[in-house]
Structures are given as structure tokens and as C-alpha cells.
Amino acid sequence: MRTKDVKHFTALLLSCLLSAQALADVSALVVIEPSNRKDGLMVSRDALEARLTRALGEHVSVTVSNDMTDAMRATRSGGYDVFISPPQVAASALAHGYSLVGVTDADEQYVLVGRSDVASVGNLRGTHIYLPQQDSIYTYLARGLLNANGLSFKDMKNVEFAHYPQAGLYALLLNTSEATLVRRAEWEGFDKEHAGVGKVLAVSSTVPGGLSVALRTKLPADTRAHLARWFETDAPSCGLKPINAHPDLAPYTRVAELGTFTPKALPGATVVNLEAMKALVAHGAVLVDTRIESEYKDKHIPGALWLPYGEKSLKDVAFDPHADSFPGLARLSPDRNIVFQCNGPECWKSYKASRTALAAGYKHVYWFRGGMPEWEMAGERTESTQTLALAN
């Protein structure tokens, strides 16, 4: 092919590619929880699609779904450019390459409510709990609150899933369930009418309310700017509530953590904070870092012994230890005080390592639940290691 023909072909190919790029959709997913259908019914998909297309000057395709599982999967795979979704979906998106525009409602709290004769969360073992669908924010937070108190859904006699959270309160009234999880406002209204039926067993941290808007950070900067401006000014034109800035990302982090939070207690072991851990090590205890090799090499607590916990089981108090591996445990003396740590309250490796040690008959087990985050937040010095081998 002649040079002139090659140049012509190259120019034609480039033109086609640019045209294809211009025709490419910006995709948006509106995620509506069946337990919060009121907000979803107000949103017009057609109006949202038309107005976003007009604002950007390029086609925007909008999909509406109430499938929480599929929505969570899409946040991890980058399936959409825009998520308009409940907080647990937005929290997952923010952890996978998206940035937050804002939120429709103020932060709110949820309460785990038990019948009045249930003394504590721990007493829910072997009882019935009523929750909305499995991937709703209600169920997500309930799982976290149970885990934080040493329980799992597997510890319940029955977990009933339905669409209507308020029905869980009436299940308490009818004595067909021992517990449920609802918004604080829902509980307060119910308690006024039916005083003495139930009581609050646990309270969640604050959670972003309503719907949150998150944009893929890989979108062109001008596209993101146009989208953000539109949501901040024109969202009500298609049924969305006004989108307000939410500069504090901590509630989203907490939502993400609640689904996989470790318990606050560990029967048979002693849970220690930073000062107690330092005192134990000063008196001869061995500090064991159970994280993966790259994390340990990058930074670790000076003097910590690297014995990685091979984790394949679920992040749950009812995890299967046979799915995991912890060969380094054999290197530790059962006669010494042993402190296990990893990447903080949302990291399960040190919890599982502690449980494994207890099951093997180790009597002096301590769990530094705060791990590396607590160490670093206190301004303590860390070390890095370029070459590493398991210590004897």
C-alpha cells in the first residue's frame, strides 16, 4: 500500500473511532430498594434520561433496578458511569473507582429491636429475626450489628426476609419474631402506640439517608463536572429530591464496614487496645502480624512477627476454619502471651487466628482488634521490610 493510501486509511479509521466514541452512551443506574419504594416511584426514568442527555450533549442511558445483589456486583465491575442508589451500594461504588456528588436525605440511624423479654443481642441466639430483603440496607446493618456482638445469621433459628420493614415491628407485636431492624423514626412511632412490646438492643452509626449519587472517576473531567452540576441544580425536574453535598465520607466507610465488621468481643481471649498491647509486648508477649506478605513488607509494627493467616472462609463469626490455613501457629509456644493483629476492626485474619489458637489449646491469647489503623492513628512508628522470611 502506498504511503498516501496508508495516511488516508489511518485518517478514515481515526474518524470512525472518534465517531463511535461520540455515539457511546453514558450509562446510569437508579437502584431502588423494595423497602423504600416511595422515593423510587417518584423518579421518572424517561425524564431523567432525556434531561441528562440534553445537559451533556451526548446520549445517556438510564436503567432502573431493585436487584441489590446485581447493583453491588455492578459497582465492583464498573458496570455503569453513574449510580443513584442507597448508601450500601454507593459505599461499594466509592471503594471501586467512583466519587460522591451528594445525597438526597439527612443521615439517619437504625435500631436493632428485640421483644421486651430479650435481655441483650447475645440472647438472640436461636431465635427468629424479621428483616427486609437480603441485600437491603436494613439487612446489611443487621448483619453488622450481630457480628459486632459475636453473632451470625447462622446462629439464628430463622431469618425471615420480606419487603416491608415496618412489618417486622408487628411480628414482635404478634410474637412471631423476637427481633427486627428498623429506622429509629419508625421505631419511635411504633413504641408510642405499643409501649412495652419491645426495646432497643443495639444502634447503628449514622448512615446516609435516601439516595446517593456517585460518578465514575474515569469519566472525562468535563463530563463529570456537567453531571455534578446537573444533579446539584436540576435533579428535582425528574422526580429526584434535591442532591445536597455530603463532604464527610466517614458514614459511607462505616456502612461498608458494618457488613463485614468483626465482633467486639472474643470469648476465651482478651481484647486489648493500643496501650494494653504495648504493655504486654514490653513484658515479653509476642506480637503476631497475620496479614499478607506485601502488607507486612510495606509497613508493620516494629518487632511484630509475621505469621500470615490464609483466609478463604467467609468473614463471619460462623466461619469454617477448615477452609483456612495457619501453619505459623505451630511456631508459637503455648506458654507465652500471644497478641494477634491485622488491619483493624474490618479485618478478620487476626480474629480467626485468635480463634484458631484457642481451639488448639493456647491459653494466653490476646486480640489487638484495632490493629495497624489504631497503631498509626496514635502516631506510632512503623517499619518496612524488603526481604522477608518466616521467623522461627
For the residues 274-291, what does the mean pLDDT come to?
98
Question: Which residues share a beta bridge with 365?
Answer: 338
Q: Tell me: do 72 and 139 sit in the same domain.
A: no
Whether residues 214 and 199 share a domain: the answer is no
Domain identity same for 115 and 150: yes
Share of the chain above pLDDT 70, in %: 89
Mean pLDDT of 113-133: 93
Please write the tens of the pLDDT for every residue from 144-157: 888 878 888 889 99
Could you tell me which of 349, 326, 329, 345 has the C-alpha nearest to residue 286?
Answer: 329
Q: Is the pLDDT of residue 194 over 50?
A: yes
HSE, CB side, 13 Å, CA atoms: give it for residue 220: 9
More confident residue, 39 or 122: 122
Tell me the mean pLDDT in the region 272-288. 98
Whether 156 and 26 map to the same domain: the answer is no
Are 385 and 300 a contacting pair, CB within 8 Å? yes
Question: Rounded mean pLDDT of 216-230?
Answer: 95
Quick one: pLDDT at residue 184? 94
Task: Tell whether 392 is covered by a domain.
Answer: no
Residue 9: the pLDDT is 42
d(CA 193, CA 212): 32
The number of beta carbons lying within 10 Å of the beta carbon of residue 47 is 14
Confidence of residue 11 (pLDDT cuts 50, 70, 90): very low
Please give the Cα distance from 176 to 26 (Å, whole number). 47
Residue 187: which CATH number?
3.40.190.10
- In the sheet that holds 207-216, the strands lie side by side as 60-65, 26-31, 82-85, 207-216, 98-108
Q: Which of 183, 203, 223 is the last residue of a domain?
A: 203
Q: Are residues 124 and 187 in the same domain?
A: yes
**Within-domain flag for 238:** yes
Residue 225 sits in which domain range?
3-106+208-258
Residues 12 and 57 in one domain: yes
**Considering its fold, how many domains does the chain have in total?**
3
How confident is the model at residue 15, as a pLDDT?
43
Give the SS3 label for residue 200.
Answer: strand
Give the model's confidence band at 253: pLDDT under 50 very low, under 70 low, under 90 confident, else very high.
confident
> Does residue 138 share a domain with residue 97?
no
Same domain membership, residue 144 and residue 102? no
Q: Is residue 265 part of a domain?
A: no
Gap between the Cα atoms of 287 and 305, Å rounded: 6
Whether 301 has a pLDDT exceeding 90, the answer reads yes
Strands 286-289 and 305-306: parallel
pLDDT at 22 over 70: no
The domain boundary residue, chosen from 159, 181, 203: 203
Q: Are residues 87 and 173 in the same domain?
A: no
Residue 260 pLDDT level (bands cut at 50, 70, 90): low
Specify whether 12 is located in the same domain as 101: yes
Last residue of a domain, one of 258, 284, 300: 258
Do 96 and 213 fall into the same domain? yes
Instruction: State whether 305 and 322 are in the same domain.
Output: yes
Give me the chain's average pLDDT, please: 87
In the predicted model, is pLDDT for residue 38 greater than 60? yes
Please name every residue paired with 366 in a beta bridge, in sequence order, or none if there are none.
Answer: 270, 339
pLDDT exceeds cutoff 80 at 193: yes
pLDDT of residue 389: 45
Domain assignment present for 264: no
Q: Domain for residue 391, yes or no?
A: no
Tell me, yes or no, whether 263 lies in a domain: no
314-364 tens-digit pLDDT: 778 888 899 999 999 999 999 999 999 998 887 899 999 999 999 999 999
Residue 325 lies in a domain: yes
Q: Does residue 31 lie in a domain region?
A: yes
Q: How confident is the model at residue 30 (pLDDT cuts 50, 70, 90)?
A: very high
